[in-house]
Amino acid sequence: MTGIDETHDPQLRSWVASANEPGTDFPVQNLPYGRFRRSASEEPWRIGVAIGDQILDLKLATGQCPWDAPVAALLEPLAEGDLASLMTCSIDERRLLRLALSTALREGSLQGPFLELCLLPQDDATMTLPCRIGDYTDFYTGIHHATAVGKLFRPDQPLLPNYKWVPIGYHGRSSSIGVSGNDFMRPRGQFRVAADAPPVFDASRRLDYELELGAFVAQGNALGQPVAIADAEDHLFGICLLNDWSARDIQPWEYQPLGPFLSKSFATTISPWIVSMEALAPYRCAWGRPDGDPQPLAYLDAASNRERGAIDITLEVWLQTAAMRKRGERAVRLSASNFRDAYWTLAQLVAHHSSNGCNLGVGDLLGTGTQSGPQAGQGGSLLELTQGGRQPIKLPNGESRTFLEDGDCVTLRAACAREGAARIGFGNCSATVLGASPVAQVRS
């Protein structure tokens, strides 16, 4: 787990003016990585660092600016568009590059005049997945979500007895993960419209979002070699926002006994910028169990995890309907919660995932599960906010929602702020629900 250093100093300012504006997600203390190219171009994808409302193009920055040899060696594969090269580096190497970028982007930097030529406005860029995502596992660390949803699906036993012992997860589809701005079609699937009715195959009528974070695996582990929890964070590169779109009519019909399948695999949206574990150092906090809950088994317990395993990240969901967009009305906030309330930490997820010898690979993505808060109205999905679709949400413009309608745009946002530290954000994780996917046709 990396500590706080000069790159986190809240007094630092950048020569990129927009990085100093209050409320920016990308001050010089953040420096998240993403993959982009100029909009409407067919250029190869490049790695960049978000700074204010700009992107520092690392291909141009590598070529046009003098760097110390060890830094240049780290930048060269990034200049080729390969973020995985940095993900497999040691923590010390990652910190070295972060310090070099921080120094270069600070006010008064000697490299500033070179790097001014290497900026692209974020508005002029198209983003894509930051790296190849080999495998995607979605966990279920939000105990307030698990309890609320459990009540709807199993009123007699909301939280299953394993929940407080084992970090629950399932293997998701990496093929349908897209970045913010990649809109998607409403899925079709099999579901029942009444408890005793035979199933139908139709467009989902109960389409929902899930407010989650995604953690990217840095160095993997060899098959058969579990990761000790005390080392687990060395295997993480950073965090993005993740929306696990879910069809709530397909889900209850298909999920027993093997878990979610087609109710989830049609689309997942992530924010394009990976906020590094290094950048998150000032916002770490203690982790523990509520009184009366079981303590974790030894392989899921470590002093480092108890001292700093949790992360204080505020999370929000915003909705803009097609009608709101047409009238120029801004999105409305549906809920807010905090990742600090998760029942399991990221280190526990890595330790558990690899505990049977399963090998994690560079660029694998671990979803945290829906992050709902403990209070009413803090649900990270419409399923919770509408009590399973029974209590519609009233929107300020007079519209209401139980589940998502075509044209609805859902945006997830997140930020870290703490006394004595800069505020950093994650950027937007947005996508719009298009009409239903087509029915398969026989090819003649």
> Does residue 138 bind Ca ion (CB under 5 A)?
yes
DSSP secondary structure string, 86-108?
HHTS-HHHHHHHHHHHHHHHBTT
For the bound state, the minimum distance from the C-beta of residue 178 to Ca ion, rounded and expressed in Å, comes to: 16
Nearer to Ca ion, 268 or 354 (CB): 268
CA separation for the pair 348, 350 (Å, rounded):
5
CA separation for the pair 276, 34 (Å, rounded):
11
For the bound state, the minimum distance from the C-beta of residue 242 to Ca ion, rounded and expressed in Å, comes to: 8
For the bound state, the minimum distance from the C-beta of residue 251 to Ca ion, rounded and expressed in Å, comes to: 10
* Of 222, 172, 219, 221, residue with least CA distance to 362: 219
Residues in a beta bridge with 325: none
Give the Cβ contact number of residue 395 at 10 Å: 17
> Does residue 244 bind Ca ion (CB under 5 A)?
yes
> Does residue 208 bind Ca ion (CB under 5 A)?
no
Among 210, 249, 254, 341, binds Ca ion (CB under 5 A): 210
| Residue of this chain nearest to Ca ion (CB atom) | 244
* Burial of residue 156 (number of CB atoms within 10 Å: 0-12, 13-18, 19+): exposed
Nearer to Ca ion, 47 or 315 (CB): 315
For the bound state, the minimum distance from the C-beta of residue 88 to Ca ion, rounded and expressed in Å, comes to: 27
Site string for Ca ion, 80-119 (x = CB under 5 A): ----------------------------------------
For the bound state, the minimum distance from the C-beta of residue 256 to Ca ion, rounded and expressed in Å, comes to: 17
Nearer to Ca ion, 57 or 210 (CB): 210
If phi > 0 it is left, if psi is from -120 to 50 it is alpha, else beta; for residue 336 that is beta
Longest Cα–Cα distance in the chain: 72
Choices 8-16, 133-141, 187-195, 235-243 (CB under 5 A): range interacting with Ca ion:
133-141
For the bound state, the minimum distance from the C-beta of residue 269 to Ca ion, rounded and expressed in Å, comes to: 12
If phi > 0 it is left, if psi is from -120 to 50 it is alpha, else beta; for residue 420 that is left
Instruction: State the amino acid at position 425 in one-letter form.
Output: G
Choices 34-42, 138-146, 148-156, 196-204 (CB under 5 A): range interacting with Ca ion:
138-146
CA separation for the pair 204, 183 (Å, rounded):
16
Q: Is 235 a catalytic residue?
A: no
Q: State the first-to-last Cα distance of the chain, in angstroms, to the nearest integer.
A: 58
Choices 51-59, 136-144, 295-303, 419-427 (CB under 5 A): range interacting with Ca ion:
136-144
Nearer to Ca ion, 138 or 408 (CB): 138
CA separation for the pair 43, 32 (Å, rounded):
22
- Rg, C-alpha atoms of the chain: 22
Task: Given the residues 8, 144, 145, 353, select the one marked as catalytic.
Answer: 145
Nearer to Ca ion, 26 or 343 (CB): 343
Nearer to Ca ion, 296 or 367 (CB): 367
Choices 76-84, 134-142, 301-309, 323-331 (CB under 5 A): range interacting with Ca ion:
134-142
Residues catalogued as catalytic? 145
Contact residues for Ca ion, defined by CB under 5 A? 138, 210, 244
